[in-house]
Amino acid sequence: MAVAFSRNPMSMAVLAHDLNTFAGGRLVLGLGSQVKPHIERRFSMPWHKAAAQMREFIGAMQAIFDCWYDGKRLEFTGQYYQHTLMPATFIPDNVVDAPRPRIILSATGPLMTKVAAELADGMIMHPFSSEKYMREVTIPAIETGLKTSKRTLDQFVLDYAPMIATGTTEEQLAKAVTVLRDRIAFYGCTVAYKPVLDIHGWGDLQDELIQLNRQHRKADMAALISDDMVNTIGIVGSPEQVVDTMKARFDGLISRTGFAAPGLEQDHLSDLLQRLRA
């Protein structure tokens, strides 16, 4: 995922076009907003209303691609972005070599999810999700947005790579669970991700996590993450068990995913990926 708001639509379009050309038209550009403190304090860029800003960002990129790929006049004027100048000198020469980049948007909340379904080619669900949240919040929001864009779910890429803890020995698995517990605690501090906690009745935990995070008490944060949370938001088990759980939870629901199992032999990993694809 590329952080959209740390750039502007034109700079992102140039980078995406170049990568897409090198890739022979196979680029899937993942975009995400990040969160307000990072945009303002890490990247020193303006933060507006995230969903509205992202709607304009994608609209502006598509207008730029319309100019480059279809020969249309560049005339995009929005509240946050204005792109109205594109001399022929600066139109890439090799736009005919490949189709325009596909754009999939990273989203968690219903507003950003609706933007993805209305404007993007697909959506990357945040790993801090659960099957319950996906089925009760994410998919309905996507279906609402797809009605506006007159598409169906089978025309929309839904990408989700769950947080997993796996290993081929008890020691490896225990270490992986520790990492997963830390990661859930970290994401649990983010206000934008509270709806995932809320749907399981864990919303009040966020205030505690935020306070501990401000005090840099990482171990105490992890201690608040129960085994139930680990196994609901993440997936734990041997590599084979993880693959089987992914299939049970997400078969027919998602169209793209990722699977990482450090330390596995290539043949073992290939077998697992084939098992997942099946």
Position 206, amino acid:
Q
Q: What is the pLDDT of residue 94?
A: 75
Q: For residue 211, give the H/E element and its range.
A: helix 205-214
Domains of the chain: 2-159 (3.20.20.30), 163-277 (no CATH)
Residues of the chain with pLDDT under 70: none
- In the block, tokens 């993450």 appear at 225
Q: What is the pLDDT of residue 30?
A: 96
Residue 58, Cβ neighbours under 10 Å: how many? 22
Q: What is the pLDDT of residue 264?
A: 83
Q: For residue 246, give the H/E element and its range.
A: helix 239-250
Q: What is the pLDDT of residue 265?
A: 86
DSSP secondary structure code for residue 24 in this structure: T
Q: Output the six-digit token pair for 71.
A: 């020969």
CA distance 259 to 271: 12
Taking the CA atoms of 195, 234, 5 and 253 in sequence, report the sign of the dihedral they define.
negative
CB 145 within 8 A of CB 114: yes
Q: What is the pLDDT of residue 176?
A: 95
Q: What is the pLDDT of residue 12?
A: 97
Taking the CA atoms of 260, 141, 26 and 95 in sequence, report the sign of the dihedral they define.
negative
CA distance 66 to 83: 12
Q: What is the pLDDT of residue 192?
A: 84
Q: What is the pLDDT of residue 222?
A: 97
